[in-house]
Structure 1
Amino acid sequence: MQIIEGAGVWTPSAGMADDWVEHLRTPDLSVGTYCIPAGGLDSQNPHTEDEIYVVTAGRAKIVTPDGTTAVGPGSVIFVPAGEEHRFDEVTEDLALVVVFGPAYGSRKVT
């Protein structure tokens, strides 16, 4: 067992539009925190791993090929590997716990 301290806590990084910090990594999954400041831009590209977001703070909209949905604290979002997605209209500093399966970046791009 391991307690992951600080996961999902807003931690702004100086000079960055968004920030990803990995807290735990095993071959089968990784857990981290992704933060985007209010008014910031989400610059991520589709990932090669399945992904779950848990919004711990803030408000925004998530945009996928299926549409746009407002999210806030308590929202849980599943994004399958390869799906285009981004957070938009970040109206409050956004903090998310992110779980990748398998671990982030472990699958080769095809």
Structure 2
Amino acid sequence: MQVITGAGRFTAPEPGESRRYDEQLRVTDLSLGTYSVPVGGVDTQQPHNEDEVYVVTAGRARLVADSGEVEVGPGSVIYVPAGEPHRFVDVTEDLAVLVLFGPAEYTRSQSQSQSQSQSRS
């Protein structure tokens, strides 16, 4: 067992940055971190090769993805499949999001991601 402290807590980006990601856990099949985007911040993330689950712990924004868009706030839980372009926009309150990657972020190659996506179709 491991207690993960600080997960889901908003942390302001460094000066000159528009967002912040802090990884709190990494094991072979899972990673977890907190993604923070302040009001006026810009989410510049690129699609990941891993599946993601977002759990919004604070703030308000809209998540825009190829498959649609949704308003998010505390308690929102969203699944984004590997390879799907998506980003948070219109951040109206400092946004803090727990991000769970399966498998751990940056461990799946693009070809693995594509074959996973095709098997879900």
Same fold (TM over 0.5): yes
Residue segments in structure 1 that go unaligned for 5+ positions in a row: none
1:10-59 Cα offsets, whole Å, 9 max, x none, are 11122210111110100100010000001111000000000000000000
Could you tell me how far apart the structure 2 residues matched to 1:67 and 1:75 are?
15
The structure having more radius of gyration, on CA atoms, is 2
2:76: which partner in 1?
75
- Counterpart CA distance in 2 for 1:48 and 1:60 is 24
Contact 2:14 2:20 in 1 (8 A): no
TM-score (normalizing by structure 1): 0.97
What's the Cα RMSD here? 0.8
Task: Report deviation, 1:65.
Answer: 1.4
Cα distance in 1 for partners of 2:76, 2:39 equals 17
The aligned counterpart of 1:14 is: 14
Amino acid at match of 1:98: V
Aligned equivalent of 2:85: 84
Q: Which amino acid aligns with 2:91?
A: V
Q: Indicate the structure whose relative CO is greater, using CA pairs within 8 Å and at least 6 residues apart.
A: 1
More helix by share: 2
- State how far apart, in whole Å, the 1-side matches of 2:65 and 2:13 are: 26
Which position in structure 2 is the counterpart of 1:32? 33
> Normalising by the residue count of structure 2, what TM-score does the alignment of the two structures yield?
0.88
**CA–CA separation in structure 1 for the residues paired with 2:26 and 2:110:** 19
Partner of 2:114 in structure 1?
A: none
- Name the counterpart of 1:5: 5
Once the 2 structures are TM-superposed, how far is the Cα of residue 108 of structure 1 from its aligned partner? Answer: 1.7
Point out where structure 2 has 5 or more consecutive residues left out of the alignment. Answer: 112-121
